[in-house]
Amino acid sequence: MTVRRTTLGGHTHEFRSLTDVLAKATPARSGDVLAGVAAESQAQRVAAQHVLADVPLTTFLTEPVVGYDEDDVTRLILDTHDPAAFAPVAALTVGGFRDWLLARAAERDEVAISSLARGLTPEMVAAVSKVMRNADLIAVARRTRVVTGLRSTLGLPGRLASRLQPNHPTDDAVGVTASILDGLLHGCGDAVIGINPATDSPAQTIALLELVDAVISRYEIPTQSCVLAHVTTTLRALEAGAPVDLVFQSVAGTQAGNRGFGVTLDLLAEARAGALELGRGTVGSNVTYFETGQGSALSADAHHGVDGPVDQQTLECRAYGVARHFDPLLVNTVVGFIGPEYLYDGKQVIRAGLEDHFCGKLLGLPMGVDVCYTNHTDVDGDDTDTLTLLLGAAGCSFVIAVPGSDDVMLHYQSLSFTDVLTARSVLDLRPAPEFEAWLAMMDLLDDAGHVRELTPEAPAARALLAAARP
């Protein structure tokens, strides 16, 4: 534990550990107050940022915030660190790293930025994000390239994909199908058609997998399906021979957090191997999907490190350290879902969404965001518009969309299908290329490449609605 000090405006600020500096340097959010680690004043926060800016990046390789011996996430991070990839920035401090990233972004040097991924640890990336403003996070993320694929290609420049989320409170096949069709008619679903099942039973999971697989096969849609059941349930589905495109799991940034989710690194590796064996990809072989969110470790009382509680954003980045080990097709933060005790209002949710996207991308993840909110958080459609358009500018891989913004199973609001259309329109972004070609083939695009608003007689509408035919 190294005490660090700085003097700012005649005041000396002292921080008792690297963990303390990271927490106090974090832009304000309710979860860090709840954990008792937040800065106690604005001046203290900026003082911590000054101290953090002077920390050499190599410090994060020798001063783990969560212990190496007691935490398998720390071991994974440090044991897989790639010194060659790290070399271009190895001599820099956190502040110097920020300057380096901004310079490369201005030069549009995507290769230089994107090649760092395996040389960076989550703690380094969290640290630099804490001294960056929102526009910095956007500017650098925009020049960080992460391309993945299974049956569609995600992360290409000028593209914004979407997860079509057709949840239903009872997993009713007809209800789920109706939401899928509505999404497809709005040009959504190129990242994945992904259902949160109402119950975690293997039989239900298999039934939903078969339902989506039937729609995808019938119309030869270049996308993939996912039922976001627990990884152990997906393993059962794999054993039963179900059409599993993607293995899903929520992950956290500590071993204790993952234990809370009922997963181990071995279990994730086993499920990934099972899905890979099916060979269901056409343009790539990324077969995993992870969700994360700031506050998940704290909510499971799994946020403790060697020098006390760790701030939620650093732990979120460590969850990315877990995810990237399994070569995911998709990763997204569910940024406004967890509640106001972690992210209180629109300002905090927007900041966190941009941080998560930037940090995930820089660590090499195909990063998407569930731009969302619950009704007890001080967030509304104006805030989600702002975050969505900022993420579009930042080159976000995908967002999540549900019918009319209203998830009738999980009882929260995400983006609507029309929000995806608006973001693509405003920012000149297009769907994944294979999916875009399919939309054109189905006569769902106009001459300018926009998803057309269909009349009731349109052949495309009639063709898709026929999916209901037994």
Partner 1 sequence: MTDLQGRSRDFGPSDDPWAVLRDATRARVALGRAGDGLPTSRELEFRAAHAAARDAVHTALDADRVRAALTGARVGLDVLEVHSQAPDRATYLQRPDLGRRLAPDTELPGGAYDLALVLADGLSPRAVHEHAAGTVAAVLDRLPGWSVAPLVLAHQARVALGDPVGEALGAGIVVVAVGERPGLSSADSLGLYLTHGPRPGRADSERNCISNVRPPHGLGYAQAADTLVALLQASRQLGASGVVLKDEGTTLPPGAG
Closest alpha carbon to 90 in 130, 61, 67: 61
Which C-beta is closer to partner 1: that of 3 or that of 174? 174
What type of residue is 380?
Answer: D
| Closest distance of CB 192 from partner 1, Å | 18
174 binds partner 1 (CB under 8 A): yes
Minimum CB separation of residue 441 from partner 1 in Å reads: 20
Q: How far apart are CA 407 and CA 415, in angstroms?
A: 10
Question: Considering the rule CB under 8 A, would residue 258 count as an interface residue with partner 1?
Answer: no
> Taking contact as CB under 8 A, which single stretch among the options 11-19, 109-117, 219-227, 418-426 is the one that binds partner 1?
418-426
**Whose CA is closest to 388, among 349, 361, 445?**
349
Stretch that binds partner 1, among 38-46, 206-214, 354-362, 453-461 (CB under 8 A): 453-461
Give buried/exposed letters for 4-23 (b at 16+ CB in 10 A, else e). bebeeeeeebebebbbbbbb
Looking at 87-95, 258-266, 308-316, 406-414, which segment touches partner 1 (CB under 8 A)?
406-414
Q: How far is CA 85 from the centre of its chain?
A: 23
Q: Which amino acid is at 412?
A: Y
Q: Does 386 bind partner 1 (CB under 8 A)?
A: no
Q: Near partner 1 by CB under 8 A, which window of 122-130, 178-186, 208-216, 226-234? A: 178-186
Structure-token pair, residue 64: 């783990």
Contact positions with partner 1 (CB under 8 A) in 74-103: none
Determine, following the binding rule CB under 8 A, whether residue 453 of this chain makes contact with partner 1: yes
What DSSP assignment string belongs to 189-229?
A: -SSEEEE--SS--HHHHHHHHHHHHHHHHHHT-S--EEE--
Q: Work out which of 408, 437, 440, 441 binds partner 1, going by CB under 8 A.
A: 408
Q: What is the Cα gyration radius of the chain? A: 22
Question: Nearest approach, Cβ of 286 to partner 1 (angstroms)?
Answer: 28
Q: Is 411 in the site for partner 1 (CB under 8 A)?
A: yes
* Cβ-based nearer residue to partner 1, 166 or 257: 166
DSSP assignment of 45-67, as one string? Answer: HHHHHHHHHTSBTTHHHHS-SS-
| Residue 320 and residue 46 in contact, taking contact as beta carbons nearer than 8 Å | no
Residues numbered 356 to 375 that lie near partner 1 (CB under 8 A) are 374-375
Smallest distance from the beta carbon of 234 to partner 1, in angstroms? 18
What is the rounded distance in angstroms from the CA atom of residue 252 to the CA atom of residue 315? Answer: 7
Pinpoint the alpha helices (H) of 240-345. 255-260, 265-278, 296-299, 312-323
Applying CB under 8 A, which of residues 8, 61, 178, 214 lies at the interface with partner 1?
178
Where along the sequence are the contacts to partner 1 (CB under 8 A)? Answer: 30, 33-34, 166-169, 172, 174-179, 181-182, 339-341, 344, 374-377, 380-381, 402-406, 408, 411, 413, 416, 418, 421-422, 424-425, 450, 453, 456-457, 461-462, 465-466, 468-470
